[in-house]
Amino acid sequence: MTTILSFTFVLGVLIFVHELGHFLMARRIGVRVLTFSLGFGPKLLKFTRGDTEYCISAIPLGGYVKMAGENPDDARTGAPDEFLSKTKWQRFQVLVMGPVMNLALALVVMAVVLYQGAHVPLFEDQPVVVGVVVPGSAGEDAGIRPGDRLISIAGDDLDSWKDFPMVVGTRANRNVPVILVRDGKTIETRITPKSRGKFEIGDVGLLPVMEPQVAALTEGEPAIESGLQVGDVILAAGAERNVPYDRLVDIIRAHDSRPLPLEVRRNGQPLTVTVTPRKNGEHARIGAQFSAFERRLVNPGPLQALQLSAKQNWEWTAMIIKTLGGLFIGETPVKQLMGPVGIAEMSGNAAAEGWIQLFSLMAMISLNLGLLNLMPVPVLDGGHIAILALEGLSRRDFSMKVKEKMLLAGFVLLVMLMVTVIYNDLARVEWIGRLMPWR
C-alpha cells in the first residue's frame, strides 16, 4: 500500500505541475482552455468552471491540457482565443512551460530537502584512490590494488569518487580501458564491470578508504565511559588500521570484557581511547552507533540551499544527458531503463525511509521528466517545439500530411520505448523473470 500511495503522490504532483505550466501560460496569452485532465481515458471525476472542464481520468500515467483550436483537425473559427491563432513565439511559450515547470519543481524541492541539512560522505569529493579491492571482483581480475589512483575509465575522467558510480554503472559486461597511477607510474589496463542487481548496474568491487565515524552514543555504556565522542573517526582498532565498518563490529564483539584500544581522529588530531566492550544480548557492545564512513554536516541557509540545489540538478542533468547519449551509441544497456513499475518500487522504498528520501526522488524524476519532454521527438513537447522551429526557419507552415508523418514516427518511437521499459519492469519481477529463460 505504501508503494501505491507514494507512487500515486509522486506521479500526481509531477503531472499536475507539468500540465499546470501549459495551462497557466495558455491562459496568460489568451488561449481558451477546454480541458485540464490528470490522467487519460474515462473521466472519473469532473467539474466545469468557466470555459474549462477539470477532471481526473482513469489511467494515471500522464495528463493533458486541451486548448481551443489546438490541432489543425479541430473546427476553427479564427477567433483570437484559439491556439493556432497565436504567433509561433506565443505557442512556443505554451509548449515549453510544462517542462520548465518540472525543472523548476526539481530545483525547489531539492532546495527544501537540502535546507533540512544533510550528512555528506567526505570521500565523495576525494580523488579515486582505491582503499579496498573486493575478492573475486572485476577490480581484482584486472589486477587493481589498494593505493592505486584511477584516472579514467572508458575515456571518462575520474575527478572524484562522486563520478565513479556513473562511469562504472552504465558499462556492465563491457570490457573498457582503465588508466591508473601506481607508485608514480601511469599504467593502462582493462576492466569488465560485472552486472549486479535487478537493474543490472555495473560493479567493479573497488571501494574508497572509508573510516567509520561515531554517529551516536548510548548513556551508561562503555563508549561514553571511555571518553569516546560523537564525530570521532576510527583510524585503528587494536592492532589493525584502516578498519572498515564490518570488521570494526567483529573486533568489538571479539573483545568481550577485554580492553580494546581505538585510535581516533578528533578535531583533526589523533588520540587513543581504550574501551572495554560488555556483553548485551548475544554480542559484546560498546554502546556506539557508527557511520560506515566519515561525514560532514551540510546545514545551509535558504540561499545556499538553492545554490546547492542548482549544483545538484546540474550534475543530475549531465548524468541524464550522458545516459541518453549512451543509449544511442550502445554504451548504456537498455536493460537499465525502468518504467512505471520500477518507479513505483523506488517510490515505495524511498517513502519507507522518510519524506526526505521521497522528495529527493521526486526532484530527480521531475528533472528527468522535464528534460525528456524537451527532446525533439514528435508527440513530446520538444517535438512540437522542433516543428515550430523548422517552420520558422523555412518561413512556411508544413502541410498536415508532413506533420502527421512526423507525429506518427514520434508515436512509434514512444510506443517502442514504453514496450521496452515495461518489459524490463516485468522481467525484474522474480516469478515473471523465471518464465523468461532467454534472459
What is the mean pLDDT of the segment spanning 252-280? 90
pLDDT at 170 (0 to 100): 82
Report d(CA 18, CA 59) in Å as an integer: 17
Least-confidence region, from 106-110, 289-293, 430-434: 430-434
In the prediction, which pLDDT does 97 show? Answer: 95
pTM of the shown model: 0.75
CA dihedral angle for residue 280, residue 286, residue 288, residue 290, rounded to 10 degrees: -100
Q: Is 5 part of any domain?
A: no
C-alpha triplet 434, 436, 437: angle, nearest 5°: 90
CATH number, domain of 232, equals 2.30.42.10
Residue 266 resides in a domain:
yes
pLDDT in tens, 345-393: 777 777 777 788 888 889 988 998 899 889 888 778 888 898 888 888 8
Region of 424 (left: φ > 0; alpha: ψ -120 to 50; beta: rest) is alpha
Please write the tens of the pLDDT for every residue from 216-252.
Answer: 888 888 999 999 999 899 999 988 888 888 889 999 9
Q: Give the pLDDT confidence of 12-71 residue by residue, as tens digits.
A: 899 999 999 999 999 999 999 999 999 888 989 999 998 899 999 988 878 889 998 887
pLDDT of 431 reads 47
Residue 97 lies in a domain: no
**pLDDT class for 316, splitting at 50, 70, 90?**
confident
Query: Cα(218)–Cα(400) distance, rounded to whole angstroms?
Result: 73
CB 99 within 8 A of CB 19: no
pLDDT reading at 2 higher than 80 = no
Q: What are the strands, taking DSSP E only, across 238-347? A: 240-241, 260-266, 269-275, 278-280, 283-285, 288-291, 295-298
Burial-class residue 130 by CB neighbours within 10 Å (0-12, 13-18, 19+): buried
Mean pLDDT (the chain) is 85
Q: What is the mean pLDDT of residues 203-221?
A: 89
pLDDT at 302 exceeding the cut of 70: yes
Task: Tell me which amino acid residue 401 is.
Answer: K
Task: Provide the residue range defining the domain that includes 285.
Answer: 213-292
Model pLDDT, residue 354? 78
Residue pair 233/294 in contact (Cβ under 8 Å)? The answer is yes
What whole-number distance in Å separates Cα of residue 438 and Cα of residue 254? 47
- pLDDT given at position 350: 72
Residue 73 lies in a domain: no
Answer yes or no: is 297 within a domain. Answer: no
The total domain count for the chain is 1
Residue 191 reports pLDDT greater than 90? yes
Mean pLDDT across 306-325? 85
CA 366 to CA 104: how far, in whole Å?
9
Q: Are 289 and 216 in contact (CB under 8 A)?
A: yes
State phi, psi for 322 to the nearest 5 degrees.
-65, -40
Rounded-to-integer distance, Cα 48 and Cα 27, Å: 16
| Distance between CA atoms of residues 332 and 193, nearest Å | 13
Could you report the per-residue pLDDT of 403-425, keeping only the tens digit for each? 777 777 777 777 777 777 666 66
Q: What confidence score (pLDDT) does residue 405 get?
A: 78
C-alpha cell at position 328: 544511442
Contacts of 95 (CB under 8 A, 6+ apart): 22, 381, 384, 385, 388
Report the pLDDT value the prediction gives residue 139, as an integer from 0 to 100: 92
* Helix (H) or strand (E) run with residue 419 in it: helix 400-428
Distance of CA 38 to CAs 43, 97, 260, 330, 380, Å?
9, 17, 61, 35, 17
* pLDDT at residue 299 tops 60: yes
Residue 145 in contact with residue 182, Cβ under 8 Å? yes
Please, are residues 35 and 52 in contact by the beta-carbon 8 Å criterion?
Answer: yes
Residues 108-156: tens digit of each pLDDT: 999 999 898 877 788 888 899 998 888 899 999 999 999 999 999 988 8
